[in-house]
Amino acid sequence: MRAVAYDSFGDASVLTVRELPVPRPGRGEVQVRVTMASLNPVDFKLRSGILRMVGRPRRPAITGKDFAGVITALGADVQGYAVGQRVFGSVDPMGGQGSCAQFVALATDLIAATPDALSDEVAASLPVAAGSALQCLTDVAGLGKDQTILITGASGAVGSAAVQIARSIGAHITGVCGTANTDYVGSIGAERVIDYQTDNWPKIDQQFDVILDAAAAASFFIARPRLLPTGIYINTMPRPELFWSAMVARLSSRQRCVPFLLKTNGALLRQLAQLAADGVIVPHIRETVGLAQVAAAQQRMQGGKTHGKVCVRVDD
């Protein structure tokens, strides 16, 4: 099968399109022919070695986590799924598998049925970005109606999903983004939009129940003055200093600092599918590329030049 893979950590130049063996489903697994993948910052962070403290994918490693496609084979003891069924999900990349490939094989707890109302592009855009937003706001923060939240990176894939989910909860949303995206962030539910290119959000005259640093551009100590006494700061890029900050917050106040790590499972994916089918989450798909353009797309993402989702049409 054709796949985009790398043999060593490095910049986007280590990615090549090559032929690799088709993965076979084991017990409790399904094989899926991938029609659409999507890219996330975690892909280039794994490829570059930035996340080597979290884990090192077995190499050669195929890049990408999120996908949509059709089941082509069932492993032993699989129930509830059938060959020919449309599904979407997210691969665990540590074993070397990735979604920028013609086939994946994975456990059924990492997939969900794709609703008829959703295109493969939309379905493939959901797991990491919208899944992170949903878990941050519901499982971690417990965001409620009329609470206040500030979201950095509000025009990005995680941030824009968070704005839309917070809107559906009934929270009061302040979004932080660049000049070119202020209208978009306002249109999806932010009551107040701060342009980080002209304003400095840590100096605004407001405190929040939740600060979701989806851009991972600040720190707990920068955000702390803008938190209410029981507020929570969530950063989507776990770093050693964040774990130290979490301990300091726990010992010195009722505020919380959370270095976030996504926990993907079937229940989360089914919830995302329903939210997307209901129009609560509408991913902003910036572009769709082929396998040969994945390296260049990752390079643009790493340079901060992409806002929204990049999808990959696998058979192109």
Total residues belonging to the chain: 316
Q: Rounded to 5 degrees, what are φ and ψ at 96? A: 100, -10
**Which option is the CATH number for 2-125+284-313: 3.40.47.10, 3.90.180.10, 1.25.40.80, 3.50.50.60?**
3.90.180.10
pLDDT in tens, 90-129: 999 888 899 999 999 999 999 999 999 999 999 999 999 9
Q: Exposed e or buried b for every residue in 54-77, given b needs 16+ CB within 10 A?
A: eeebeeebbbbbbbbbbbbbbbee
Beta strands in 75-147 (DSSP E): 86-90, 103-107, 111-113
Contacts of residue 297, defined as CB under 8 A and 6 or more positions apart, other chains included, come to 39, 287, 289, 306, 310, 312
DSSP string covering 46-66: HHHTTTTTT----SSEE---E
What pLDDT was estimated at residue 316? 66
Asked if domains 2-125+284-313 and 132-259 share a fold, the reply is no
- The C-alpha atoms of residue 41 and residue 64 are separated, in whole angstroms, by 10
What pLDDT was estimated at residue 158? 96
- The C-alpha atoms of residue 276 and residue 282 are separated, in whole angstroms, by 6
DSSP string covering 142-159: ---TT-EEEEESTTSHHH
Domain ranges in the chain are 2-125+284-313, 132-259
pLDDT in tens, 195-228: 999 999 999 999 999 999 999 889 999 999 999 9
Cβ atoms of 154 and 315 within 8 Å: the answer is no
What pLDDT was estimated at residue 133? 98
- The C-alpha atoms of residue 157 and residue 155 are separated, in whole angstroms, by 7
Cβ atoms of 30 and 75 within 8 Å: the answer is yes
Residue segments in the chain with a per-residue pLDDT below the cut of 70: 53-54, 305-306, 316
Place of tokens 């979604």: 99
**Domain 132-259 architecture:** 3-Layer(aba) Sandwich (3.40)
Q: Provide the token pair at 262.
A: 């996504």
